[in-house]
Amino acid sequence: MKTRNSLVLVGVLIGFSALFAPANAAEAAKPAKAPWRGVHFMAPSAAGLPLVKRAIAEKLAPLGVNAILMEVDYNFAWHSHPELAQSGAMNREQARDLAALCREKGIRLIPLFNCLGHQSWAKNTLPLLVKHPEFDETPKIPLTNPDIYCRSWCPQAPGVNPIVFALMDELLDAFRADALHVGMDEVFLIGSDQCERCRGQDPAKLFAKAVNDYHQHLVGEKKVEMLMWGDRLLDDKTMKYGEWESSRNGTAPAIDLIPKDIVMCDWHYEPRDAYPSVTYFQEKGFRVWPSSWRNQTAALALRDFARAHATEKLVGHLCTTWTGGEQLSRALLGEAGDSAKQANQIVETIRACFAP
């Protein structure tokens, strides 16, 4: 009787546990997700696309790169706002062709459109604020940008989001993308006294408003993934990274005001003994994509520190290039020549980061 009762009890327990086991067992049976091995570059012109496609097929794919972060910004032939397009830009059909090649090679293509900041470079103000000066956070500064790093649009400007969302939607459609990177790095001009809407307001709340607006559109409405640079969410008093890789203008508290399903691209370009933001973002609940640049020593230090302090929130490694797609492609293909010192250096760093 004891033996029989024991067998019955075992059978009941097995049956009971089976009610809950399949999902867990199925989850356990799934292969681990491959780390994101990413390369970032600036979108090529339409004329440069064949060269970029060749570099992707012949060099990046064999290297094991499975993600490309392509910074498009205004280098696209927009249908919704053609006045914002830059000359010689790729069109939707060319973007779809490039995306198809990436899918064939097992590469996820993620377009990047810089939001809020980086609306100018040197003396060149980018199309949105040229065509819509009413969106400018600092309207009193001439468009030649004297004494500033880069312009920002106002996160509270009526009318700015509908235009930005239309551009985002075009990129998602053109590249058949399941994610979009919204930039958001190095936003130094926010809550400016020159802006009647933002004057005197909390920079963290203004920054969080922008992030949340983009998240609601991309994740909430379009059901795609959102990525951003993480530097404005890091308090320099704690992180000690300096004013570029972390914030000194009050935006850092926004980290507790935004959704946790955003992928944080945590960029650091100098060699350090430790990169505390890698663990900080993970502890805050964000997935993290550590991002390096051309300095090979620094890139490997960041990669190795991240690996040593990884949780399930660490997604892989991103090699930024801040180089045009054509120039990077020539360096990858060995056609850049000795004069392209920086591009060649970047390629060597990419290879080192993704070496077996």
The answer to whether 315 and 263 have CB atoms below 8 angstroms apart is yes
- The per-residue pLDDT for 1 is 41
- The per-residue pLDDT for 356 is 80
Domain boundaries, the chain: 32-353
- The per-residue pLDDT for 247 is 97
Token pair of 343 as six digits:
């591009």
Residue whose entry in the numeric block shows the structure tokens 């490997």: 300
- The whole-angstrom separation of Cα 122 and Cα 346 is 23
282 conformational bin, left if phi > 0, alpha if psi -120 to 50, beta if neither: alpha
Token pair of 131 as six digits:
């065509």
Q: Supply the CATH classification number for the domain 32-353.
A: 3.20.20.80
- The whole-angstrom separation of Cα 248 and Cα 244 is 9
Among 146-155, 163-172, 210-219, 329-338, the minimum mean pLDDT is found in 329-338
What DSSP letter does each residue of 37-93 carry, written as one string?
EEEEEEPPPGGGHHHHHHHIIIIITTTT--EEEEE-TT-B--SS-GGGPPTT-B-HH
| Polymer length of the chain | 356
Q: How does residue 19 score in pLDDT terms, banded at 50, 70 and 90?
A: very low
Please name every residue paired with 111 in a beta bridge, in sequence order, or none if there are none.
70
Residue 226: CB atoms within 10 Å:
23
- The per-residue pLDDT for 32 is 56
- Sorted by sequence, the CB contacts under 8 Å of residue 134 that are 6+ apart come out as 157, 159
Token pair of 326 as six digits:
């054509």
CA 342 to chain centroid: 22
- Sorted by sequence, the CB contacts under 8 Å of residue 220 that are 6+ apart come out as none
- The per-residue pLDDT for 174 is 98
By percentage, how much of the chain surpasses pLDDT 70? 91
- The per-residue pLDDT for 294 is 97
pLDDT digits (tens, 9 = 90+) for 326-341: 999 999 999 988 778 9
The answer to whether 85 and 91 have CB atoms below 8 angstroms apart is no
pLDDT digits (tens, 9 = 90+) for 76-113: 999 999 999 998 999 999 999 999 999 999 999 999 99
- The per-residue pLDDT for 338 is 75
Three-class SS of residue 290? strand
pLDDT digits (tens, 9 = 90+) for 23-63: 343 333 444 578 999 999 999 999 999 999 999 999 999 99
Say whether pLDDT at 4 is over 70.
no
pLDDT averaged over the chain?
A: 92
